[in-house]
Chain A
C-alpha cells in the first residue's frame, strides 16, 4: 500500500499549476489514458456501490414502502426507533454471540491444524486436501446439509448418543439454535483459515528454528518464542477477516433457521433482510443496514491498515 503515493512528474517550480497540469496531462506519456482505462469499471462502482449507499443514507431518514410512491421525511426517527426495538437489540446481541462463538474456536483450531499440516510428514498433502474439502462445498449446500445433520435423529445427535449425551432438538431450541449457525460456519471456514495460517507459517525462516534447537529449546518453547510472535500479522488478518465475514453473513440464518425459534438466531443482516423484503419497511431497514455498515467499516479499515503494515 505504501506505493500508492504517486511520484509527481518532475517539473520546475516556475511552471506553476497550469504548467504542471499541461506537463502531466498533455505530455508525451498522455497520462489521461490512465483515467480512460479506469473509467469503464468505475461506472460499475458508481452505479452499483456508491449510488446505492448514498440512496441508503437518504432513505434511512424517510418512511418509505415499495407499494406507495409517497415518502415522508422522518429525520432521525428510524434510528431512534431502532434503539427502542427489542427485535433490533436482540439482533445485535445474536450477531455478537455468533461472531464471538464462531471466531474464538476458529482461531485456535485453524492455527492448530496449520501447525499439524505444516510438518514434513509423508503424505501430509493428502490430509491438507481432505481437510480442505468443506471449504469448497457450494455455500448453499452448507445450510441444506446441516439442516438434516441437526435433525433430532440426525448425525449430530447420534454422535452425541455414542457419548451417552442426549442432544437437543437443535433447530427448535432457543438455547441451542445459535450452535446451528456456529458449527457449520466453523466447519466451512476453519479449513480456509488453516491455509492462511499455513502461508504465514511457511514464511517463517527455518534458520530460527534450527538455531533455537541448537540452543536446546523445546518444541513448546520454540512455538511460544518464535512461531507465535512471528505469526502476529497473520493472526490479526485472520481475526479481522473472520469477524467481518461472520458479522455480515446471512446465508445460514436465511436458509437454515430463518431467524427462529423466537428470533433466537436472527442476526443483524437477517433483520435488515426481513424488514426490507418481508415487511417492506424500506427506511427502517436501511437505517439498520447503516448500522451494519458502520460495523463493517470499523473492521475493514482495520483490515486495510494491516495490509499496509504487511507489505
Chain B
C-alpha cells in the first residue's frame, strides 16, 4: 500500500515537472514571435526601451498601413500566389503521373529511371545555382514567372512519394478498369487519382509551402521589382528601411499570420508535409 502511494506521488511529481518544463520551453520558443508582434505596435524610439513593454500601452496601429504602403506588397503577394499555385499544380500533376507510370507499368529501364530521378536529390538549388541561373538566362526567362516556376517542377521527392503510394493500390482495380475499356489516362484520372487523395493533398501542401517559402531562387532570377515574390519583397523592404523596426516587424507579422492560420486549419496534413521536409532536406 505504501509502495503504491509512493508510486503515485512519484508520477504526480513527474507530471508537474513536465508541465513546468513544457511551459518554460514553449515560452522561450514563442518569445521571439511575441516580441515581433509587440514591436509591430510600437514607435521606432520605443523598440529598445527598457523595461520591455510587452503589451504597448499606446499601440501604434498605423505601422501596418504605413509599412504596407511603402512597397507594392499587393503585387508581391499576387506574384507569390501565381508562382505557388502554378508550380504546385504542375508538380503534383506531373509527379503523380510519373509515380503512377513507375509503379503500375513494368517496362525496360524503369528501375534506372527511378534511380536517375532519385539521384537528382543531390542537386538542390544551392548546389547548382550558377549553371541553373545561366540555363534560365539562356532561355530568356530572367524576371519571368516561368523562370521562377520551372526549376521547382522537377522534384524527386514528389515522384518517389506518389510511386510508393500507387504501389499500395491493388493492381486488380487498374486491370478491371482497363478491361472495361478505359484508356490509360482515363484509368489514371478516374481510378488512381480519387483513391490517392490523401497522398495528393499531403504532397500539395508540402510543395506549396516549399515554393511559397523559397528565397534563394527568386532572389537570383528576379531583379525587376514588379516580379518579386513575397519573400524577396519583404527582404528588399527590410534592407531598404533598415531602421524602421516596427514597420519591418509589422510586415513580418502579416507574412506569418496566414501560415499560422493554415497550420491550425490543416494541422494534420501540415505536420505530415513538414515531417517530410525534415527527412528530405
Contacts and interface: CB of A to CB of B under 8 A. Distances in A.
Interface in A254-296: 254-255, 269, 272-273, 276-277, 282, 285-286, 289, 292-293, 296
A56 B124 contact: no
Interface in B84-115: 94-95, 97-98, 100-102, 104-111, 113-115
A129 B110 contact: no
A37 B98 contact: yes
Contacts of A55: 131, 134-135
Given A35-B107, A38-B113, A42-B117, A251 B215 contact: yes
Which 6 interchain pairs have the tightest Cβ spacing?
A34-B105, A37-B101, A44-B154, A245-B281, A52-B131, A31-B107
Interface in B190-237: 212-213, 215-216, 219-220, 230-231, 234-235
Contacts of A47: 135, 150, 154
Interface stretch (B56-64, B65-73, B255-263): B255-263
Contacts of A124: 22
Interface in B141-185: 150-151, 153-154, 156, 159, 167, 184
B131 to A, nearest CB: 4
B184 A6 contact: no
A144 interface: yes
Given A3-B167, A40-B98, A195-B271, A33 B184 contact: yes
Interface of A: 3-9, 21, 24-25, 29-38, 40-42, 44-45, 47-53, 55-56, 59, 66, 113, 116-117, 119, 121, 124, 127, 129-141, 144-149, 151, 153-155, 158, 187, 189-193, 195-196, 199, 219, 237-238, 241-242, 244-245, 248-251, 254-255, 269, 272-273, 276-277, 282, 285-286, 289, 292-293, 296-297, 300-301, 303-304
A311 B230 CA distance: 38
A134 B33 contact: yes
A199 B268 CA distance: 13
Nearest to A288: B130
B159 to A, nearest CB: 6
Contact of B128 (A32, A53, A135, A254): A53
A40 B270 contact: no
A207 B145 CA distance: 54
A51 B188 CA distance: 30
B126 A52 contact: no
B46 interface: no
Nearest to B237: A144
Interface of A is mostly: helix
Contact of B107 (A32, A132, A141, A293): A32
B117, B118, B128, B271 — most chain A CB neighbours (10 Å):
B128
Interface of B: 14-15, 18-19, 21-23, 25-26, 29-33, 35-36, 39, 47-48, 50, 52, 94-95, 97-98, 100-102, 104-111, 113-118, 120-124, 126-135, 150-151, 153-154, 156, 159, 167, 184, 188, 212-213, 215-216, 219-220, 230-231, 234-235, 238, 245, 248-249, 252, 255-256, 259-260, 262-264, 267, 270-271, 274-275, 277-281
B107 A34 contact: yes
Contact of A195 (B19, B52, B135, B274): B274
A34 B231 CA distance: 38
A154 to B, nearest CB: 7
Given A138-B255, A139-B231, A38 B101 contact: yes
A144 B113 CA distance: 41
Contacts of A155: 31-32, 35, 52
B101 A144 contact: no
A37 B130 contact: no
Nearest to B167: A3
